[in-house]
Amino acid sequence: MSNDREIAWAAAGAACAALVQDGMRVGLGTGRAANAGIVALGERVRSEGLRIIGVATSERSEAAAREAGIPTGPPGQPLDLAFDGADAIDPRGLCVKGAGGAMVRERVLAESAPRFLVLVDAPKIVASLDEWGILPLAVVPFAADRVADQLADLAPTRRDELSDDGMVLIDLHPSAGADWQAVATRARALPGVLDHGLFTLVLDDVLVGHPDGSVTSPA
């Protein structure tokens, strides 16, 4: 991975961490950009004595929080803030998540917080989700073969690994020009589909890091 991208993620992570206040419960996302946010938040915990509780969306983000010195707790209680990364974001605020397989927990925490920040670098801002071309699903194992058969026109591919919650991960490949919201609605209506990776964001809450260390919003 290029150093420019790492600098951009670090800039977005620092901007996110700066918004966290003492006493907050914070949802911690999964992926490289979210990890940059965890690292930056850990620096504030160590250097400023910031008192927070992190709630992780995956085993990887839990491990990253421990390494960063962030105390973690269980989900359930409301959060004050949550942050995560993204695979692609279009001009309408439609966003695909789930390359890391954690989209179910990510949605739970996003909807538990009054503000959900998304950390990305510029390549993740796309003119159309067709540029990404993948919509992940989390499916109950018993239903996975049936779901794949019912969505055969979307070229489903099944990942080798399961999610942290033991769900089968199936990647759909909508055709160019497809209505992604309709595809997501169709998939989630099938018995056994727990969730999909399509989110709708507030663009003002998307933090786009750049290689010069600046952070902008696509709004």
Active site residues: 106
Helix (H, G, I), strand (E, B) or coil at 122: helix
Helix (H, G, I), strand (E, B) or coil at 148: helix
Report whether 141 contacts 166 (CB < 8 A): yes
Terminal Cα distance for the chain, rounded: 27
Report whether 208 contacts 12 (CB < 8 A): yes
- Residue 198: both structure tokens together: 């399509």
Q: Locate tokens 């497809």: which residue?
A: 178
